[in-house]
């Protein structure tokens, strides 16, 4: 995780910055979420979809999408005084997955965005974080016109480990996105604390 250290005269705790990944399938709303919650102008590495990419990018259900993230999105949000989150949005296509290992270094946890119209697209992200023991929450981006499912139904469909949070959200809405991030920080904090206690017991 990313941290900022500074000596303070009164012994106050130093400001803390945590690294969070935002992952999920192609066109699920990762760039939108980072842009909606970021308090700085987000860094985006988007390129127009090309004819060559049509052979490898599955655009079913996201026909109106014209750009794609080719490296990462980056944003920052302050949760409370002294606690900031650095957000790294991952590329969604398989051919850019070599970047994931680099981006995941030092991450506190991850948000896996899901679209119930293409739920299978988030399976690879779920598997990635489960196998690397990186805490994550699944955030169901509630697209207009999509059939609504409850959190327990999504958890069963994704065969999530017991206790993995599933939340419903609107990636376009800052408050909704912030609630997802707070839920992740709380969950990841509990997971890291439990692992620390296990290691010393």
**Locate tokens 């051919």: which residue?**
95
> Is 183:137 a contact under the CB 8 Å cutoff?
yes
CB atoms within 10 A of CB 53: 14
Is 63 a residue whose pLDDT tops 70? no
**Tell me: the pLDDT tens digits for 161-173?**
999 999 999 999 9
For 26-49, what is the mean pLDDT?
A: 83
The per-residue DSSP string of 134-154 comes to --EEEEEE--TTSPP--HHHH
**Tell me: the pLDDT tens digits for 138-162?**
999 998 888 889 999 999 999 999 9
> Kind of pairing, strands 166-169 and 16-24?
unpaired
**Locate tokens 């985006």: which residue?**
44
Is 26 a residue whose pLDDT tops 50? yes
Check the CA dihedral 90-95-98-101 and report its sign.
positive
Predicted local distance difference test score (pLDDT) of residue 45: 63
């Amino acid at each position: 995780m990313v941290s900022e250290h500074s000596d303070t005269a009164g012994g106050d705790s130093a400001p803390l910055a945590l690294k969070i990944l935002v992952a999920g399938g192609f066109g699920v709303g990762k760039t939108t979420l980072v842009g909606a919650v970021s308090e700085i102008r987000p860094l985006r590495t988007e390129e127009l979809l090309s004819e060559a990419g049509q052979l490898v990018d599955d655009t079913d259900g996201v026909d109106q999408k014209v750009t794609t993230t080719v490296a990462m999105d980056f944003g920052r949000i302050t949760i409370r005084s002294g606690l900031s989150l650095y957000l790294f949005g991952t590329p969604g296509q398989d051919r850019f997955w070599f970047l994931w290992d680099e981006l995941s270094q030092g991450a506190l946890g991850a948000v896996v965005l899901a679209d119930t119209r293409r739920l299978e697209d988030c399976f690879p992200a779920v598997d990635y974080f489960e196998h690397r023991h990186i805490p994550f929450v699944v955030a169901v981006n509630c697209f207009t016109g999509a059939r609504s499912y409850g959190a327990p139904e999504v958890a069963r469909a994704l065969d999530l480990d017991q206790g993995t949070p599933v939340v419903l959200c609107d990636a376009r809405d800052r408050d909704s996105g912030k609630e997802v991030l707070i839920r992740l920080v709380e969950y990841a904090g509990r997971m890291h604390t439990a692992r620390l206690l296990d290691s010393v017991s």
